[in-house]
Amino acid sequence: MIYTCTLNPSVDYIVKVDDIRLGELNRATETAVFPGGKGINVSRVLKRLGMDSVALGFVGGFTGAFIEQALAQENIKFDFVKVPETTRINIKLKSGKETEINGQGSTIAPSLANELMKKIQALHQGDTLVLAGSVPESLPSDFYRTIVHTAKAANVNVVVDTSGPALKQLIEAKPFLIKPNHKELGELFDTVLHAKADAVLYGRRLVELGVENVIVSLAGDGAFLFTKEVTLFAEAPKGVVRNSVGAGDSMVAGFLAAYTSGKPIEEAFAYSVATGSATAFSDDLCTKAKADELLQHVKVTRL
């Protein structure tokens, strides 16, 4: 079974305004509300691709109830820990340039953190655990590391999709998959990447450090996959970018959906790129039909 873990979920409130004027009354032309958080996005895309998963994490209040109701409507299983505070609301303001305003995460008491850890300890050999998104400030800064070591002790495949210090401290745990973008890859090595050759250099270095699979997203310029056996580059399909939220999460879901179904690594990587692009070209997360359509336009080459 695939489990996704979102420590800091949200309700994403999408607001479109034709021409926003600060300090004045503005009226939205469109609004939408979705369950948010990177792990939850992975679960939602997996379901659309025909794969089951169980969403873990912390939810609370009326917004937490909304997340559970929305996932239930999509037939997605969840096993959240309930917290007293209301799950945050993130505002995605679309008016020319896209602006995001993220709410503060809930305060997680140690007893509730222990409750989540018990769920992690119950995972079985062969399961996959996706750790995605930020760590609430109320949790220890090394909380992800604790989860990873607990999961790996049970021979669970761990996927990490986060950034900054949280990602850097998990490299030594040798996760099954990480998916930094080019900026995040540079941050792991305290540098700035200026060319694709830089991404190849540092992507391969992560494999040397023990990460089994590394996907590096270059947005519209494609993506790399690094393993011990092979380095692959995929050209991204062409299209109009309509949505920057969830494209990376969709890449993780696409890779896992194909890989856990027994597809070869090259096909899993190609599907990852197609799925991420399908979300980028959509108003919401991708559909399977859109991902399958774009897969025909993903060209993968060995380096």
Structure tokens at 158: 């761990």
Dihedrals φ, ψ of 187, to 5°?
-60, -30
Instruction: Check if 249 is active-site.
Output: yes
Catalytic residue among 249, 283, 284, 292: 249
**Angstrom distance (rounded) from CA 163 to CA 8:** 14
Q: Which amino acid is at 233?
A: F
CB atoms within 10 A of CB 93: 18
* Residue 233 CA neighbour count, 13 Å, CB half: 13
For residue 235, the cross-strand partners are: 299
Pairing of strands 53-59, 77-78: parallel
**Angstrom distance (rounded) from CA 98 to CA 100:** 7
Asked if 58 and 81 count as a contact pair (C-beta separation under 8 A), the reply is yes
Enumerate the active-site residues.
249
